[in-house]
Amino acid sequence: MKHHIVLSMIFFIVLSGVSEITFAQGGMFAAATGNTTFSSETPMENINAENKKTQVLLNTATNELAIRMNMRDFVFPNKLMQEHFNENYIESDKYPNGTFSGKLDQAIDYSKDGTYDASATGSFTIHGVSKTRTIKGKMKIEGGKINLTSNFEVALTDHKIDVPQIVFVKIAQSIKVKAEYTLSPYKK
Partner 1 sequence: MKALRPAIIFIFAATTLHAQNDLLGELSKLDSNSSAPVQATFKSTRIINGHSVETVKKNHMDFRISHRFGRLNSGSYELYGLDQATLRLGFEYGLTDDLMIGAGRSTEQKAFDFFGKYRLIKQSTGAKEIPVSVTLFGSAAIRTVRPVTEEELARSFQNKLTYVYQALIARKFSERLSLQITPTYLYRNLPDLEGDKRGLFSLGLGGRLKLSKRVSVNAEYFWAARDKNSTLPYYDSMALGVDIDTGGHVFQLHFTNSLGMIEKQFIGETTGSWGKGDVHYGFNISRTFSFDKKSKRTK
Q: What does the binding site for partner 1 look like in residue numbers (CB under 8 A)?
A: 1, 4-5, 7-9, 11-12, 15-16, 19, 23, 30, 39, 46, 48, 55-57, 59, 64-68, 70, 72, 77-81, 83-84, 86-88, 93, 99, 101, 164, 166-169
Question: Would you say 175 and 46 are in contact if contact means Cβ atoms under 8 Å apart?
Answer: no
At its nearest, how many Å lie between partner 1 and the CB of residue 161? 12
| Closest residue by Cα to residue 67 from 59, 75, 78, 77 | 59
Which residue type occupies 175? I
Q: How far is the CB of 154 from partner 1 (least distance, A)?
A: 18
Reported for 59-62, long-range contacts at CB under 8 A and 24+ positions apart, including other chains, are 59/26, 59/27, 59/28, 59/29, 60/26, 60/27, 60/28, 60/29, 60/108, 60/110, 60/146, 61/25, 61/26, 61/27, 62/26, 62/103
Provide, rounded to whole angstroms, the least separation between the CB of residue 112 and partner 1. 24
Is 84 or 145 the residue whose CB approaches partner 1 more closely? 84
Residue with smaller CB distance to partner 1, 73 or 113: 73
What is the closest distance, in whole angstroms, from the C-beta atom of residue 65 to partner 1 in the complex? 7
CA distance linking residue 49 with residue 38, whole number of Å: 6
CB of 184 to partner 1, least distance (A): 14
3-class state of residue 85 by DSSP: helix
Which residue, 57 or 177, is less far from partner 1 as judged by CB?
Answer: 57
Q: CB-wise, 94 or 112, nearer to partner 1?
A: 94
